[in-house]
Amino acid sequence: MKALITGSNGFIGSHLSTEFEKNGYEVIKSDLTEGGGNIAMDIMNPAVIQSVLEKYKPDVIINMAGQANVGLSWKKPQLTVQLNTVGLINILESVKAVNSEIRVIAIGSSDEYGSLKESGSNVTEDIPVKPVTPYAISKQAQELFAQLYVQSYGMDICMIRLFNLGGAGQSKGYMISDFSSGIAEVELGKKDVMSVGNLESARDYTHVKDACRAVRLIVEKGHVGEVYNICSGTTHTVQEVLDKLIAMAKTEIKVVQDPARMRPSDTPVVCGNHDKLTAHTGWQPKYGIDEILKDALTYWREQN
Ligand SMILES: NC(=O)c1ccc[n+]([C@@H]2O[C@H](COP(=O)([O-])OP(=O)(O)OC[C@H]3O[C@@H](n4cnc5c(N)ncnc54)[C@H](O)[C@@H]3O)[C@@H](O)[C@H]2O)c1
């Protein structure tokens, strides 16, 4: 089996390449620029996508390229929709033109569920989505296009909604990587204290390696046209994550709460339900929060 991975230089894309290679796939890695085993394939350029499909003839495309940052999506909504929504349409149009039998995996986010208020404790795929950020709207829109191409052209597409991930290689801008990099900096004396915001919210965290195994199983066993949550089905509060990381630190960590970052979340708990994924593929998470945090902290110690 030949798998074309877009965004393979990114956090998830790099782990995904390893997961597929380890499991006997021939992997074509692609990102904006060539190098380190990657080919260059800009998902904004349909002609380039088509020529890659004609040349490499993949059996499956996993689209990990995109604009993954919710904060940036408020500053750059056009770019976010271009990369996350138009990027997938470019891939789908290229697949339709070259070989519509290629399986495509479209990557969405738990952010599509949006403001869940008090009803976030068992988030199944069929609860109504209410996207409330440009990022979430771009992800919901790409999913709707994926569904449209399944219904209108009979294409072989599975859709994924990824919940919070953690592990080695995640950039700053996510809670686990921000805390881990902060602790690594305090350990090295680069700063004295860690500044934190609201510690109450409880979220669902999956190890990036478990998520990548889930993506591979969806490639192999996922049903056409289905949306799959990838989540652990358990939650941890921000306070719990912070306490665990502080317990792993090599030095005393002073924490200050930054009033500017104390916005209360209107969704106290987000806990995903992965029953459909498990029923269709047998997937279960293997790693818990401790491994997620240990791998994130080790990564940030190596970066500093
Ligand atoms: N990280 C998470 O916790 C998380 C959670 C939910 C969903 N997601 C989604 O998963 C996907 C991957 O996320 P990530 O964290 O690995 O992001 P990332 O930013 O680490 O990687 C994205 C990759 O896409 C590449 N890219 C950007 N524009 C491109 C273009 N025009 N053509 C080709 N490549 C391009 C970038 O160079 C980068 O290597 C994104 O769609 C993101 O929204 C991530």
Per-residue pLDDT of 104-123, as tens digits, reads 999 999 999 998 988 899 99
Between CA 236 and CA 292 the distance in angstroms is: 12
What's the mean pLDDT when you consider all of the chain? 96
The pLDDT value recorded for residue 39 is 98
Mean of pLDDT values over 53-73 = 97
Closest CA to 28 of 16, 43, 11, 45: 16
In this structure, which residue's CA is closest to atom 23 in ligand 1? 7
pTM: 0.97
Ligand 1 centroid to Cα of residue 66, in Å, is 4
What confidence tens digit (pLDDT) does each residue in 118-154 have?
889 999 999 999 999 999 999 999 999 999 999 999 9
Which 3 state secondary structure label does DSSP give 301?
Answer: helix
List CB contacts of 292: < 8 A, sequence separation 6 or more.
166, 167, 176, 205, 206, 207
What pLDDT band is residue 35 in, cutting at 50, 70 and 90?
confident
The pLDDT value recorded for residue 25 is 98
What confidence tens digit (pLDDT) does each residue in 201-226 have?
999 999 999 999 999 999 999 999 99
Q: Which atom of ligand 1 is nearest to the CA of 43?
A: 32
Question: Burial code of 167-187, b = ≥16 C-beta within 10 A, e = fewer?
Answer: bbbbeeebbbbbbbbbbbbbb
Between CA 293 and CA 243 the distance in angstroms is: 11
Q: Which two tokens stand for residue 284?
A: 């279960």
Residue 267 confidence (pLDDT) above 90: no
Residue 34 confidence (pLDDT) above 90: yes
Ligand 1 centroid to Cα of residue 174, in Å, is 13
Residue 263 confidence (pLDDT) above 90: no
Q: Which two tokens stand for residue 62?
A: 């996993």
Q: Is residue 233 within 6 Å of ligand 1 at its C-beta?
A: no
For each of the domains in the chain, give its residue range(s) and CATH number, in order of start.
Answer: 2-167+205-231 (3.40.50.720)
Mean of pLDDT values over 291-295 = 98
In the chain, % of residues over pLDDT 70: 100
Between CA 195 and CA 192 the distance in angstroms is: 10
